[in-house]
Amino acid sequence: MLIHSHMDKSNIVTCTAPVNIAVIKYWGKRNEELILPINSSLSVTLHQDQLKTTTTVATSRSFQEDRIWLNGKEEDINHPRIQSCLREIRRLARKRRSDGDPGFDLTSLSHKVHICSVNNFPTAAGLASSAAGFACLVYTLAQVFGIEGELSGIARQGSGSACRSMYGGFVQWIMGQKDDGKDSLAQQVEPETHWPELRILVLVASAERKPIGSTSGMQTSVQTSCLLKHRAESVVPGRMVEMTEAVQRKDFAAFAELTMKDSNQFHATCLDTYPPIFYLNNVSQQVISLVHRYNRHHGETRAAYTFDAGPNAVIFILQQHVPEFVQAVQHFFPPESNGGQFIKGLPVNHAALSEEL
């Protein structure tokens, strides 16, 4: 992780964090409050020049209370997940003070914070805004209070997927066994430099807020879907091993096939949820067909799709095939037919977090 440390006299810190896209999906909690998952997951962190959250935290003796603004609108600071992150960061800061760290700013602990966070991409549309958002919140607060070290366990308590955005490259979230969640942490599998030819395209089918948020969607799935239980217990453990090996070998076909199958199984568990949840739309289904036709045409697996809890497609593809694939997408989805909504970002996965100087 690349950390540049800088804080001006008025105690204002600004940081950015990228989104991450899971190739083995997290869906379902065994503990709602601590955000402990029913299975491990694995993701790729995007380059933060593409889809990112930028968060500024200010502290001042004159602030009367903690406050937060999201995309320019004030939100409720008492949201339990924001409170968990604030509490855990302040707890670490207090511990550092009681350990007698001489470099520690004694005054800042009693100060209230004002938090301002902006996403440069659609919020709550299935593009992992909660992941970038809470990773950035925790990282920025840590910078303000002078905390270093393992922070994914705190980010996890903001949004499960956020723990994986604390690292760049290929990252796993190990589900852990303990009831207190101390072993439910993110860990880098391979750094961002590992597979430089790998590209990620984001196809935006809809920038609207999803009708059912991830948190409540997965709650209903845990309560009603026996397919989800089977997936968590009997499918994902093997896939975590296979996916890790595919990434380590840079075996694109194996990586791509597992990615597509896991996305499909996740959406199958949504259909198996009662009442069923539909995150994919017509355009998503057309993208799925397009990828399979494209692969069949070339007689090898050259592209993979994955969809989070929303209709927007994320495509994994090797650099040398990007132009021909983009051409195929433009042929099937001419700009005029979709209101120019498709965007093509070509990010390389990269280092996770940094402070803006």
In the complex, the residues that contact Co ion under the rule CB under 5 A are 130, 214
Among 56, 130, 152, 295, indicate the residue that binds ligand ADP (CB under 6 A).
130
Candidates 6-14, 119-127, 258-266, 337-345: pick the segment binding ligand ADP (CB under 6 A): 119-127
Binding partner selected for residue 70 from ligand ADP, ligand DP6, Co ion, none, CB under the kind-specific 5 to 8 Å limit? ligand ADP
Candidates 100-108, 193-201, 306-314, 331-339: pick the segment binding ligand ADP (CB under 6 A): 306-314
d(CA 32, CA 223): 13
**Which DSSP letter does residue 105 get?**
-
Among 34, 127, 151, 314, indicate the residue that binds ligand ADP (CB under 6 A).
127
Please answer whether residues 112 and 64 qualify as being in contact, where contact means their C-beta atoms are separated by less than 8 angstroms: yes
**Which DSSP letter does residue 111 get?**
S
**Residues 187-226 vs ligand DP6: string with x where CB under 6 A?**
---------------------------xx-----------
* Cis-peptide into 275, omega within 30 deg: yes
Candidates 155-163, 228-236, 255-263, 341-349: pick the segment binding ligand DP6 (CB under 6 A): 155-163
Assess 161 for contact with ligand DP6 (CB under 6 A): yes
Backbone angles phi, psi at 273, to 5 degrees: -70, 150
Among 59, 108, 130, 349, indicate the residue that binds ligand DP6 (CB under 6 A).
130
Cβ of residue 44: shortest distance to ligand DP6, in angstroms?
A: 11
**Residues 213-232 vs ligand ADP: string with x where CB under 6 A?**
xx------------------
Q: Taking the CA of residue 78 as centre, how many other CA atoms within 13 Å lie in the half-sphere pointing to its CB?
A: 0
Assess 192 for contact with ligand ADP (CB under 6 A): no
DSSP string for residues in 185-231? -EEEEE-TTS-TTEEEEEE-S--SPPSS-HHHHHHHHHHH-HHHHHI
State whether residue 306 is helix, strand or coil.
Answer: strand
Longest dimension (CA), the chain: 65
**Which DSSP letter does residue 47 get?**
P
Q: Interface residues with ligand ADP (CB under 6 A)?
A: 53, 70, 117, 119, 123-131, 133-134, 137, 159, 213-214, 308-310
